[in-house]
Amino acid sequence: MTLKIFLRYLCGILFPAFIFCSCYQKPDEPEMGEERDYSVVVNPGIMFRHLPMEIRETSGLFHFDDLLWTINDRGNKNILYGFDIQTGKIERRIRIGNASNRDWETLAKDDNFVYIGDVGNNNGNRKDLKILKVPLSSLGPANIEKNAKSEVISFNWSDQKDFLWEFRKTPFDCEAMVSVGDSLVLFTKDWATNNTRAYILPKLPGTYKAELVDTFSAGGLITGADINQEEKVLILSGYRNFRPFLWIFWNFEEKQFFHGRKLRVEYPKFYDAQTEAVLFYGNDTIFVSAERSKRFPQRLYFFRFSEILKSCDVR
Closest of 266, 286, 158 to residue 220, by C-alpha: 266
- pLDDT band at 313; cut points 50, 70, 90: low
φ and ψ at 73, to 5 degrees? -90, -150
Mean pLDDT of 23-27: 47
pLDDT of 82 higher than 50? yes
Per-residue pLDDT at 53:
97
- pLDDT band at 7; cut points 50, 70, 90: very low
Q: How many residues does the chain have?
A: 315
Q: What percent of the chain has pLDDT over 70?
A: 86
Task: Please state the domain extents for the chain.
Answer: 3-312
- Are 56 and 281 within 8 A, CB to CB? no
* pTM across the whole model: 0.89
Mean pLDDT of 71-92: 96
Per-residue pLDDT at 238:
97
Q: What is the pLDDT of residues 253-274, one digit of tens each?
A: 888 999 999 999 999 999 999 9
Contacts with 61 (C-beta within 8 Å, 6 or more apart), sequence order = 68, 69, 70, 107, 224, 226, 277, 278, 279, 287, 289
pLDDT of 34 higher than 80? no
Per-residue pLDDT at 18:
38
Per-residue pLDDT at 109:
98
Closest of 51, 82, 176, 45 to residue 120, by C-alpha: 176
Per-residue pLDDT at 35:
47
Question: How confident is the prediction for the chain on average, in pLDDT?
Answer: 88
As its CATH architecture, domain 3-312 has 5 Propeller (2.115)
